[in-house]
Amino acid sequence: MAAKVKPLHDRIIVKRLDEEETTAGGIIIPDTAKEKPQEGMVVAVGSGRREDGKVVALDVKEGDKVLFGKYSGTEIQLDGDEHLIMREDDILGIVE
């Protein structure tokens, strides 16, 4: 059974993109030396943040490729895959 999670307010669920296996020079990077990527795909977004009693829509939407900080968000497991749930403020930018 697939888990459906709807983030609340200004929270976003992001799936990390896979890290490159080799460098530009062709050197293979072992798993122990890899850092977790700081780039991901937005899977779900909340309804928006509240300001002065009004709901303000988020700038990101499902399907956006985003950059986020190294220690941003909280790791969660959805259908056996690792995802991050974070606030919109943790997003550094949208990759176009």
Contact 92, 65 (CB under 8 A): no
pLDDT of residue 33: 53
Provide the token pair at 38.
């700081």
Matching residue, tokens 């309804």: 47
Of the candidates 46, 78, 83, which has an alpha carbon nearest to the alpha carbon of residue 68? 83
Specify the pTM. 0.74
Question: Which residues have C-beta within 8 Å of that of residue 7, sequence separation ≥ 6?
Answer: 13, 44, 45, 46, 85
pLDDT tens for 28-70 read 666 565 556 688 999 999 888 888 888 888 888 899 999 988 8
pLDDT tens for 12-23 read 999 888 765 555
Whether 1 shows a pLDDT value over 50: the answer reads no
Per the model's pLDDT, the better-predicted residue between 1 and 60 turns out to be 60
